[in-house]
Amino acid sequence: MRVLVVEDEKAIAAEMEISLRNAHYVVDVAYDGEDGWFRAETEEFDALVIDLGLPRLDGLSVVKKLRSAGIASPILVLTARGTWRERVEGIDAGADDYLVKPFHHEELLARLAAIIRRSTGHASAILVAGPLSLDTRRASVTLGGKPVTLSSLEYRVLRYLLHNQGRPVPQSELAEHIYGGDSENDSNALEVLVGRLRKKIGSEMIVTRRGYGYMLLG
């Protein structure tokens, strides 16, 4: 899953980036509102983390502009003050949740995972497809109740396909969301990665729809 963090305090942005990467997210960072707005409008992200106190274009305006442009990616806003009025303004502008600074990174991860799940129609932290189960809280996978060991990239592929279960995911979309927008990984590398994943969870779980992409079956 690919996340854009828009935060002008570079130390905080760096800490969030580390936490998110350790949780198997692909992370892009913008340090002001204008850059964040431009990148969120022109690139695809599974979620956005936006600080309200941004230079050049404040976070509330970023959220409003994105929603006005039809960008539906779930948004978690960060606020330093945490007043009820500011939280209400953020939600009214189109944010899905908020987090008050300072915060524990475990809460950041939990709230981010929750808004991503809701945006893809999943109520539980555990994503299920037939005998396959992925626990987004523990980053663990089981098949028929038995643990499956995956590499970080294999886990990213499986999590993205589970969030989009039943829909063919084009190779280009899958690559962007597991490698990042600046990735130069080619289709052959992705095919090898999907092939390794199939060997671990069963080749019948992931089908290839010619001309459309990969699809995870339930």
Mean pLDDT of 55-68: 96
Which range, of 78-87, 112-121, 132-141, 196-205, averages the lowest pLDDT? 78-87
* pLDDT tens digits along 170-217: 999 999 999 886 555 567 889 999 999 999 999 999 999 888 899 998
> What class, spelled out in words, does domain 126-216 have in CATH?
mainly alpha
CATH of domain 2-119: 3.40.50.2300
Predicted pLDDT of residue 187: 72
- DSSP-based three-state secondary structure for 47: strand
Tally: H helices and E strands in the chain: 8, 11
**Helices 171-179 and 187-201: angle between axes, nearest 10 degrees:** 80
pLDDT digit string, tens, across residues 73-90: 999 999 887 677 888 888
List the domain boundaries for the chain. Answer: 2-119, 126-216
Which of these, 111, 91, 88, 89, lies nearest to 99 by C-alpha position? Answer: 111
Q: Which residues sit opposite 148 in a β-bridge?
A: 141
The pTM for the full model equals 0.88
